[in-house]
Amino acid sequence: MPDGQNRARKSSEKKIRRIVGRQAAKVMTDCDAMLLHNTDLLANLPRLGFTAFLRSMTEDMLQLATQPDPQGDRLRARLMSDLVPALQGDMSKNHVVSVDDIVYLTNIVTPCLLLELGRRKGHIDVEFPGDPTDSSACFKLRTGPRCHHYSFSNQQLLQLASNIGEELVGLCYFGDPRSRERIEAELATEPAA
């Protein structure tokens, strides 16, 4: 006999609109154009800060870049191909970047894209460090308008995304109260950055 509780829970879950097909191709083209037109921003990223880069991205770019499918993988790869050298201060791309460095930087930047999407949707308030990949980086997050500010490092961000990534998605996309509670509980157990 089917479980009515599971069926009710599944039907009440909110769905994230996927960007696919022609729309994904258009977002990829728009991202290419944005990166090509923002070479000065990328060259001066250490001075201007990561938030300036996030402001140059559209909501569709942020959404596709956080989408866990081949289109999202392609956009993340495209973003990281320009963002990694910019974060490392090597716009000439003369220095070899290891695969481990690319993976590390991508694992930090991707949750940042999700947090920025949540900020734009009005579900959270977040302050990004100038360089989120710096070991001394300090993020500030408020999970709601009347909520406490939490400070955490990029290592804690990685841990948060690893431990309760689904809740991070629920909060950023929908402002889900249960996700907010779980994230606050996780952040409260971590020592402040």
- Asked if residue 107 belongs to a domain, the reply is yes
- Show the tokens assigned to 131: 């360089």
Query: pLDDT by residue (tens digit) across 126-152?
Result: 999 999 999 999 999 999 877 889 999
Average pLDDT for 16-45: 92
pLDDT of residue 94: 67
- Asked if residue 171 belongs to a domain, the reply is yes
- Show the tokens assigned to 116: 């920025």
Number of domains, the chain: 1
Average pLDDT for 110-139: 95
pLDDT of residue 179: 94
Alpha helices by DSSP H, listed for the chain, are 4-12, 21-37, 39-43, 45-48, 50-55, 59-65, 70-87, 99-120, 154-174, 177-189
pLDDT of residue 12: 41
Query: pLDDT by residue (tens digit) across 66-90?
Result: 999 999 999 999 999 889 888 877 6
- Asked if residue 133 belongs to a domain, the reply is yes
- Asked if residue 7 belongs to a domain, the reply is no
Average pLDDT for 42-46: 89
Would the pTM of this model clear 0.85, i.e. be above it? yes
With left for phi above 0 and alpha for psi between -120 and 50, is residue 49 left, alpha or beta? Answer: left
- Asked if residue 11 belongs to a domain, the reply is no
- Asked if residue 51 belongs to a domain, the reply is yes
* Residue 172: domain span: 20-189
